[in-house]
Amino acid sequence: GAGVSQSPSNKVTEKGKDVELRCDPISGHTALYWYRQSLGQGLEFLIYFQGNSAPDKSGLPSDRFSAERTGGSVSTLTIQRTQQEDSAVYLCASSLGRSNTEAFFGQGTRLTVV
Amino acid sequence: AQSVTQLDSQVPVFEEAPVELRCNYSSSVSVYLFWYVQYPNQGLQLLLKYLSGSTLVKGINGFEAEFNKSQTSFHLRKPSVHISDTAEYFCAVIIFNNAGNMLTFGGGTRLMVKP
């Protein structure tokens, strides 16, 4: 597609369940970012991929959070044993990398843990 | 280490008044600077960016920002705001290192334009 695509757009899950969020970056973009935006809050950095590797995982809030990227393209963010404080909008962005630094954002996945 | 600070979490302003949203960054090396805007119930979109060259950068919707290296600032300005400018504005910095590029955001400033 023409832009960054995230799925699902909305997810309601029960506390304690695992969820998987998907991000399809723009084709050819080597850099991929995950951020979390809680209600009324700013953008919290979670993890950054350059290709398939993640040089910076410092933002993952706990060991319940993990992310992977395969084929230098699709990325999945997995949250295990979800808690109510995990409720937020999870945003994915991609950019071309060294030669071009503009990041394009997806519409986000709104996660609600009940 | 790098960080981005947006000094004002909320800025209320009347329509047609000028506005400045402040952004300061900390970095020991050269940076690229961005402003993103998030309109209510929408995704983030790029407003403007500074990569090199002229320190005064013009963006969409009449916004501009000035890179000040000595003050490590990248404040966003608009001479006359409209109701439609009501949104959340995020300042961001990117720094190149051996691992690639890393985009870090400030906490955001909510611009509230009142009639």
For the segment A4-26, the average pLDDT, to the nearest whole number, is: 96
pLDDT over threshold 60, residue A100: no
Which residues of chain B neighbour A108 with C-beta distances below 8 Å? 43
Residue of A nearest to B6 (CA): A42
Q: Is A34 on the interface with B (CB under 8 A)?
A: no
In tens, the pLDDT along B39-96 reads 988 889 999 999 888 899 999 999 999 999 889 999 999 999 999 999 999 999 886 6
| Chain centre to alpha carbon of residue B106 | 9
For the segment A85-99, the average pLDDT, to the nearest whole number, is: 87
Give how far Cα A106 sits from Cα of A3, A77, B17, B54, B115, Å: 7, 14, 32, 30, 31
Transcribe chain B into DSSP letters: --EEE-S-SEEEEETT--EEE--EEE-SS--EEEEEEE-TTS-EEEEEEE-SS-SEEE-GGG-EEEEETTTTEEEEEESS--GGG-EEEEEEEEEEETTEEEEEE---EEEEEE-
Q: Is A97 on the interface with B (CB under 8 A)?
A: yes
In tens, the pLDDT along A23-82 reads 999 998 988 999 999 876 778 889 988 888 887 787 899 999 999 998 889 999 999 999
* Per-residue pLDDT, A1: 54
pLDDT over threshold 70, residue A98: no
